[in-house]
Chains A and B, each alone.
Chain A
Amino acid sequence: MHEVSVAENIVEIITQHVDRNSLNRVRSVAVTAGTFSGIVPDSLEFAYQAITDSTELAKSFLVIGQIPFVIRCRECSTESAGEEGIMQCPQCGSADTTVVSGKELLIKEIELDDIITEPV
């Protein structure tokens, strides 16, 4: 369950980009997670909600976009989206392949509300 540690890193990066007084304006945070990044999106969303609860970021949420696992074969130059982690080219069977995508774990952007809505 390293999603808690990942969520803590996300919060830290947010605080480096958003002024402390504006943290309650954060609406959403766009995160890109490859399907082979070891991240379970539901768990990460849950962890983020749990650690931001009762903080200025309580109302904010994550928008997690997934990138498929794709390998490229050096033998036959085919790019294929296969099963996570399998490095064998499904086209020619060669093991001489590289990962094109699927291992990313990036924070892309933060969306801020213009008007601060005070809690009732």
Chain B
Amino acid sequence: MSVVTIERKVLEKNDDVARRNREMFAQHRIFVINLVSSPGSGKTSLLERTLEYLRTSVRVAVVEGDVQTDFDAQRIAKLDVPVVQIVTNGGCHLEAKLVQDSLSAFDLEKIDLLVIENVGNLVCPANYDLGEAMKVVLVSTTEGDDKPLKYPGMFHNASVMIVNKIDLVPYVNSNPETIKRNALQINPALTIFETSCSTNKGIPEWCEWLKQQTKKSGA
């Protein structure tokens, strides 16, 4: 019997590509967010409201990740924003290589902010760095206030949490303060926003913050 000692990170290949993506984003001064949530929290709706707000002041592009269909890319394309759809064909998360391959569709010199909308899944995307500046996790009031405690990995790795569908609070027995308290137990450094894509509540605050971050990164 012989033993080969290895001591390597299992996901180092993904981490390597993510590092290269990050270098390329820095070189082109692009601020990149990785938008994650469970299916149906409102990622695409939030993105639509965000694009409507920002498109006159920030040059935004979007990478859409879905298990199947290009429905989301069609929604984004209606807003006249450059968009690429990645269909994972059953894959439960985006990997850095998929993002790298999608970048050839863009003129990187003409982008200030790239939003990567990940596959709707609160588990798997937490482990895959795509080269983003930060993960933004969306949680909606209809999902249950204990989501951050049930899926701590994602909230641990995110920099921002957006509590969406805030207009539905009176109907769904949700308390946003409980969601926030639970999330802060997992990640005390989270920046938190509350939004409604129906009433537009909180959208300007989130968008102004995002604009500031994009500017700060040199875009």
Contact = CB atoms under 8 A, between A and B. Distances in A.
Interface residues of B, number: 32
A10 B8 CA distance: 10
Given A38-B153, A114-B2, A86 B186 contact: yes
Given A1-B92, A111-B1, A13 B186 contact: no
Interface string A13-45: 100011000000001000100001110000000
Contact of A95 (B2, B6, B93, B184): B184
A112 B4 contact: yes
B114 interface: no
Given A9-B11, A37-B127, A109 B153 contact: no
Interface of B is mostly: mixed
B152 A84 contact: yes
A85 B153 CA distance: 7
A87 interface: yes
B7 A17 contact: no
Query: Could you say which interface size class chain A belongs to?
Result: 20 to 34
Contacts of B149: 85
Contact of B188 (A95, A107, A114): A95
A31 B10 contact: yes
Given A9-B10, A36-B152, A87-B185, A17 B124 contact: no
A88 interface: yes
A114 B2 CA distance: 7
Contact of B10 (A1, A13, A36, A88): A13
B4 A18 contact: yes
A39 to B, nearest CB: 8
B11 A108 contact: no
Interface of B: 1-11, 13-14, 91-93, 95, 123-124, 126-128, 149, 152-153, 155-156, 184-188
Pick the 5 closest A-B CB pairs, nearest first.
Answer: A85-B152, A95-B188, A2-B124, A110-B4, A105-B10
Interface of A: 1-2, 5-6, 9-10, 12-13, 17-18, 27, 31, 36-38, 84-88, 95-96, 105-114
12 contacts: A2-B128, A9-B11, A38-B127, A38-B153, A87-B156, A88-B188, A95-B184, A96-B188, A106-B8, A109-B4, A112-B3, A114-B1
